[in-house]
Amino acid sequence: MSQTLSTMGEASDVALAEPPAPALASSATPPMYDFGVLRELRKNAGLTLEAVGERAGVSVAVISKLERNQSSAELETLYRLGRVFGMTGSDLLGLAESRLAHKLVSRSYQSSGFKFRTVAYGNVAAFIAEAPAGARVSKPEIHSDEYELCWVLRGEIELALPHGITVLAEGEAVQFDAVQPHTYHALRDSRLLILHLRKHNRF
């Protein structure tokens, strides 16, 4: 597979509704990944460039350029290098991404009476939701393979899942598999923090 990271730019799926396109905090686009983490992984494992290259089936020149952020990485290369350190290509990509500070401006949108502000990154999306009593929202079809965490900051929320209904009061939280059909119903004027967390170690 020859698709490179520089062309991926795939945004995290956003459940509950489809918000408008994100706006960057500035016109300057920061680098998406810092593969200097490869050097740290290699040194912690006590491996030379040659040893990593032999185990991964990747040339020393390619690994060296990646460690110095002088080239982009093909997906197959990430998969091969990740296996050397006991992780998936997605795990390695996540480490490279988390080393950099990516500043975003939150987006605002409304869905079924709920008002949302959100920011989304490759492995997590965060939502602040405000809902008046009686509002109800259900958009499970937009989810990818994620966990969802809901924390009630104010008010009271009823969460309907296939196996039953959970009522959450202020200060209470719940986590569940977001691929399930689910509906939020505000029993009182409410404010929520919702997180979508990408699942790891998917092959």
Residue 99's pLDDT is what?
60
Residue 102's pLDDT is what?
67
Residues 6+ apart with CB under 8 A from 184: 16, 114, 129, 131, 136, 137, 138, 150, 157, 158, 159, 192
Domain 104-198: which CATH number of 3.40.50.261, 2.60.120.10, 3.30.1490.440, 2.130.10.10: 2.60.120.10
What's the whole-number average pLDDT of the chain? 82
Q: Region 60-78: what's the mean pLDDT?
A: 90
Here the contacts of 48-51 (C-beta below 8 Å, separation 24 or greater) are none
pLDDT of 14 higher than 90: no
Q: Where do the structural domains in the chain lie, given as residue ranges?
A: 27-98, 104-198
Q: What would the pLDDT profile of 91-136 be if each residue is shown by its tens digit?
A: 888 888 766 566 789 999 999 999 999 998 777 889 999 999 999 9
pLDDT of 13 higher than 90: no
pLDDT of 39 higher than 50: yes
CATH number of 27-98: 1.10.260.40
Q: Region 77-85: what's the mean pLDDT?
A: 93
pLDDT of 177 higher than 70: yes
Identical fold for domains 27-98 and 104-198, yes or no, is no
pLDDT of 25 higher than 60: no
pLDDT of 59 higher than 70: yes
